Structure 1
């Protein structure tokens, strides 16, 4: 079955939104992911798209002109000081971009409190027509798929979902059988990249690879073909390559990301439904 492709923020992290959208369109992606809030716990401020109205207008125009949509926005970090009202400006901006999903990270080690916070976040996100997609990451309070499922199921919100990242699946004690067992209604999109083996298993090492050492699909040792066969048939795939050594142009990076992902999908007996696939093949 077809998989629409989305170009994740980290694949072109230093490229302004308009140029990223144009590169995604040229490479045949259906959508993009945009970052409005910082991923780091400290030392990183909000991204200009959150507050710059001119940039918002230009981004909306680029989306309209290219036909690209916004699949997801990043990143809502839920800690012990969670206040749902504090996320309203972020969610309002996401709605103006007509985004569909919000990437959520759990940083509160009190699982009962985190579950309550996540449920309340989903309630506020629902007001803006957005889902809350909880991503498990080995160094966070949601380290694996089992933890994410437990929180999502207990929160029991109609817009609650789990985000599976190929890199974190490979590094966490999570199996393909566990992924196959997740209801399709709880997976809105999946992030694809490859990663090196061996690797530094410390939190610092895992974070370094996640933010700057992600490889193009097929260029590392992750079983992406197996993952592609385990996910729901038509789920969107967000290609998230974060390679600090990358010297390709935005257009070349996007084309390469699309090509390598499609190679994995073909090997798995899947294909994507992104437009104009033939332009780079």
Structure 2
């Protein structure tokens, strides 16, 4: 089966959804992974499509013109005091644009609250035919595969999922054998990137690598092939922010290099 790739918005966050769709098409991606849930982070552009009808119109036009599909949206964070219905407008737009997955992560220490809100997210997404895929993030509250699986088992929803990011898998020191315990139907897509072999020891340095300086696949110290060999073949969303490379090369060239290096690496290590 032909491998499929998506361009994650964080890779070219300075581009609007329409702009990144055209870039993805020219580079040869199959999908885009959009960020229409505004999180209010420092210097983060607001791409809340449900609130910006002109941006939504332009995004639809780009998807229709290029034939690129929307794969997933992010980020439906679970945090203290969250009402998951807050994400309904973004889900509605995502469904309208053809998305199949909603990415989530957990930023509260209250386990029962997190499980209840994750289950509610799944219930909200189900009528749209979308899964809710939980990502463990090294500097969040659910930081490893074991705890993420505990949330999914406790929530017990048909449309739940686990999203493996190769950076967080490596930084959280997850054992490869743990992937063998994940039900195959929980895998819907994965995030690909590489990073230096040495794992940072501070939260600040972990965040810096994750948001500003990930490496092209095959250029760092993560055994990406070993991770992917223990998972079914699923779409690979390349989430590879590198601010210096974008500044030097431009978004289009950076996105192309992200895809080409990933394809070359996977062909060499997993077979063409």
Q: TM-score range by the shorter chain?
A: over 0.9
Aligned counterpart, 2:66: 66
CA offsets, 1:11-68, max 9 Å, x none? 1110122221111111211001111124566785742434111111111111111110
Shift of residue 154, structure 1, vs aligned partner: 1.4
SS in 2 for 1:157: coil
SS in 1 for 2:244: coil
Aligned counterpart, 2:127: 127
Aligned counterpart, 1:236: 235
> Structure 2: 5+ residue runs without aligned partners?
none
Is 1:268 the counterpart of 2:262? The answer is no
Aligned counterpart, 1:90: 90
Normalised by the size of structure 2, how large is the TM-score?
0.93
Are 1:2 and 1:270, in contact at CA under 8 Å, matched by a contact in 2?
Answer: no
Query: Matched residue pairs, number?
Result: 270
Report the Cα distance in structure 2 between the residues aligned to 1:98 and 1:196, rounded to whole angstroms: 35
Are 2:37 and 2:87, in contact at CA under 8 Å, matched by a contact in 1?
Answer: no
CA RMSD of aligned residues (A): 1.8
Report the Cα distance in structure 2 between the residues aligned to 1:220 and 1:159, rounded to whole angstroms: 34
In structure 2, do the counterparts of structure 1 residues 43 and 82 end up closer, same or farther at CA, with 3 Å as the change threshold?
Answer: farther
In structure 2, do the counterparts of structure 1 residues 133 and 257 end up closer, same or farther at CA, with 3 Å as the change threshold?
Answer: same
Where in structure 2 are the equivalents of 1:141-180 lying within 5 Å? Answer: 141-180=141-180
Report the Cα distance in structure 1 between the residues aligned to 2:44 and 2:13, rounded to whole angstroms: 14
> Structure 1: 5+ residue runs without aligned partners?
272-281
Normalised by the size of structure 1, how large is the TM-score?
0.90
In structure 2, do the counterparts of structure 1 residues 87 and 48 end up closer, same or farther at CA, with 3 Å as the change threshold?
Answer: closer
Where in structure 2 are the equivalents of 1:103-122 lying within 5 Å? Answer: 103-122=103-122
SS in 2 for 1:102: strand
Shift of residue 223, structure 1, vs aligned partner: 0.7
Aligned counterpart, 1:7: 7
Greater relative contact order (CA < 8 Å, ≥ 6 in sequence):
1
Aligned counterpart, 1:277: none
